[in-house]
Amino acid sequence: MANGHQKIITLDRHIMETQRQEYPEARGDFSKLLMQIALTGKIISSEVNKAGLLDVIGTTGITNIQGEDVQKLDQFANQTMIRMMDHIGMLCAMASEEEEDLIHIPKAYENGNYVLNFDPLDGSSNIDVNVSIGTIFSIHHRVTKGGPGTEEDCMQKGREQLCAGYILYGSSTMLVYTTGNGVHGFTLDPVVGEFLLSHPNIKMPERAKIYSVNESNYDIWDQALRDYVSHIKKRDKENGTPYTFRYIGSLVADFHRNLLKGGIFLYPNDKKSPHGKLRLLYEAAPLAMIAEQAGGTASNGSKKIMDIEPESLHQRVPLYIGCKKDVEEIESFINKHKNK
Ligand code: P6P
């Protein structure tokens, strides 16, 4: 703290300084990529923040690969990310929740050494009720040699990610990211137009008594999950005070609260969604990297999310993510039931 004041560190400066320390040989390419994502977030934020005023509320009548109504802001966010990222010569391919197939780099532009997997606007069912929503992104180094990228470049294990992050459009707009050296949060100052470091080196506690799950699915849960949720809700000597329930229904918002306050978010496989609802490449894997870097963890119930070998671009996985001890506890309930 210089002269008792918090130093004002912009995202750009943080990225450059981190890159200089972590990758002295880096030509600043990677920093350019991350700053372009941040600029995209500012553009989407500006649109999201005036959603109520413009005719962007409501759906386009299109359904996406997930069979979900595409809200106009979803479409705007998707198109904006693609247009902002496809010509900067850093990427050889992209994968988006809103696009069934791989997004290729137009022939007019150079193919780069990275790929970007992203969910342009997660939680979109909350857009027109003014609940926080977010953009999630995941960056890998390409595995193919030169030329246009392929699905193989996008479908890499979470453990191989170079960078993961999200932009949360909430009471303020925040960008949270990790490149494998801790998790850092930046708050957008709309007047200055800069993301300023507000949450350096975020860490989760080992355990916290907050759980997030859509309990209306109780009847279609496996017995292991029912037993686990009953266990953490018990008021008894062994358990002490029961867990507090918090569920926004917007993954980025639920995850961000648990990242800052501790807790566990659960979206299990159930009779309605046998593989779970959330997608591996651009939801579970990036958030898993952030959780692990903050001292937490993420599992599909039996395997770390970061170690799952992707089988398709839009693959769904069960997701248990948050404080290490809480995730290990649900894994033990699932394991117990498997061995019955
Ligand atoms: P449910 C939003 O549509 C989303 O993909 C995530 O942001 C959120 O965590 C989840 O679905 C909510 O799903 O079935 O509880 O409404």
pLDDT in tens, 151-180: 999 999 999 999 999 999 999 999 999 999
pLDDT at residue number 175: 98
* Cβ–ligand 1 contact at 212 (below 6 Å): no
Residue 1, pLDDT > 60, answer no
Domain limits, the chain = 11-199, 210-338
Mean pLDDT of the chain: 92
Q: How confident is the model at residue 88 (pLDDT cuts 50, 70, 90)?
A: very high
pLDDT at residue number 50: 77
Tens digit of each residue's pLDDT (9 = 90 or more) over 116-149: 999 999 998 888 888 999 999 999 999 999 899 9
Residue 186: which of 202, 168, 198, 201 has the closest Cα? 198
User: Exposure of 209 by Cβ count < 10 A (0-12 exposed, 13-18 middle, 19+ buried)?
Assistant: middle
Tens digit of each residue's pLDDT (9 = 90 or more) over 68-83: 776 688 899 999 999 9
Residue 48, pLDDT > 60, answer yes
Tens digit of each residue's pLDDT (9 = 90 or more) over 204-261: 999 999 999 999 999 999 999 999 999 999 877 776 788 999 999 999 999 999 999 9
How far is Cα 242 from Cα 49, in angstroms, rounded to an integer?
37
Output phi, psi for 80, to 5 deg: -65, -45
Output phi, psi for 81, to 5 deg: -60, -45
pLDDT at residue number 178: 96
For the chain, list the strands marked E by DSSP. 59-63, 69-71, 91-96, 103-104, 114-122, 133-141, 163-169, 173-178, 183-189, 194-199, 210-212, 244-245, 264-267, 297-299, 319-322
Residue 56, pLDDT > 70, answer no
Q: What is the mean pLDDT of residues 317-340?
A: 95
Give the mutation target among 251, 252, 321 for probing the ligand 1 site: most ligand atoms within 8 A of CB. Answer: 251
Quick one: which atom of ligand 1 is closest to the CA of 254? 9
Of 11-15, 21-25, 236-240, 324-328, minimum mean pLDDT range: 21-25
Residue 2, pLDDT > 60, answer no
* Cβ–ligand 1 contact at 74 (below 6 Å): no
Classified by CATH at the fold level, domain 210-338 comes out as D-Maltodextrin-Binding Protein; domain 2 (3.40.190)
Architecture of domain 11-199: 2-Layer Sandwich (3.30)
pLDDT at residue number 130: 87
Alpha-carbon Rg for the chain, nearest whole angstrom, is 20
Give the mutation target among 64, 122, 124, 320 for probing the ligand 1 site: most ligand atoms within 8 A of CB. Answer: 122
pLDDT at residue number 5: 67
pLDDT at residue number 26: 58
Number of helices (H) and strands (E) in the chain: give both, helices first: 8, 15
Which CA distances in Å does 227 have to 214, 324, 334? 15, 19, 9
Of 30-39, 215-224, 285-294, minimum mean pLDDT range: 30-39
* Cβ–ligand 1 contact at 144 (below 6 Å): no
